[in-house]
Chains A and B, each alone.
Chain A
């Protein structure tokens, strides 16, 4: 393992916080969106769309966070792996 312990724990904290905040926002927006929809308010679609888009990009942002941390800690294998995964994710979302 080339990544130092303090790097790993810092990365752990960043990723954990990122995921928790992201999911909390998504859950709140989904609940609000469904409630608005049930009330017949047209804006609900935008709220649900926004929630799902955030949800879909949480894993992507998580990989990007790992990529940045890998560059900082000079972990070439992790940087290369996350870089390729990001490329595939972007390619898939752009080209379908």
Chain B
């Protein structure tokens, strides 16, 4: 606790009350906390809010380039570069995940492709996992949390490089698609295609794991669910991404509840991050249409691997 307070106080003196309140349990639930400082009228706080906006914009841009929420980039920046404690960085990140999910899911094109029934069925397991993560997140040591976050980033880097983008479509849309399968209009072939969902128990297990990691690491969890659905469960990549986009908002809502109730979501920084991420997401989508995805993936997977290494080194200290 003392270390956390020092960390925040050293880099963001005006925010030191966040950790203090969190530690002492002064902020009982339901506690939606604000900064202890007077406001961003204070120039120092204003600088931190503007830095958070910029960090959110960069994270949103990188996330959109890869089809992710951006939390995997935002958490390390807030934690390592700005010196915010991991719970505060994770709490802010989960709020931005909700914003990104809401925007991405609002697209009628994505909604048509998304498999609502599969998404909500898997969300039962992800929500359970996220709630489970919430019960242990404040019980485990900071060093363990750093290791978990580092391992998550390393896993994401690996998945990013190895992602196969299987099509998994059946050309005949009249086939029986089963309980969870579906049909959609595929732009590539110009017609309606169908797909069946395989290995549902595996999808349930991975959805639970994604939920736990969502709360522990402050990410949406789509980076785990999308490749699993696409590679092992027979779901086309576009359907996997759209379905995951629908789910991560509800998942992040559970994790965000935990951080809010511990007073780890400062309003001003969360507001700045949300605005930044929303702006960055649009910018990223603009760039994504004009550049080659493979190069991004290799560069960003390398960045994630380096950040993962930094977390492992920190956790050993």
Contacts and interface: CB of A to CB of B under 8 A. Distances in A.
Same complex origin of A and B: yes
A55 to B, nearest CB: 6
B104 to A, nearest CB: 9
Interface string A43-84: 011001101110111111011001000000001011001101
A18 B134 CA distance: 28
A46 to B, nearest CB: 9
Nearest to B29: A96
Interface residues on B, range: 35 or more
Contacts of A62: 102, 105, 246, 249-250
B58 interface: no
A89 B253 contact: yes
A45 B98 contact: no
Interface stretch (B67-75, B163-171, B263-271, B299-307): B263-271
Which DSSP category, helix, strand, loop or mixed, fits chain A's interface?
A: helix
24 contacts: A3-B116, A3-B117, A12-B108, A12-B112, A13-B108, A15-B105, A16-B111, A23-B278, A34-B49, A37-B41, A37-B268, A38-B46, A39-B41, A40-B38, A55-B95, A55-B99, A55-B102, A59-B252, A77-B117, A77-B179, A84-B124, A89-B253, A92-B254, A96-B134
A58 B108 contact: no
A73 to B, nearest CB: 11
Interface of A: 1, 3, 8-9, 11-13, 15-16, 19-20, 22-23, 26-27, 30-31, 33-34, 37-40, 42, 44-45, 48-49, 51-53, 55-60, 62-63, 66, 75, 77-78, 81-82, 84-85, 88-89, 91-93, 96
Interface in B204-256: 246, 249-250, 252-254, 256
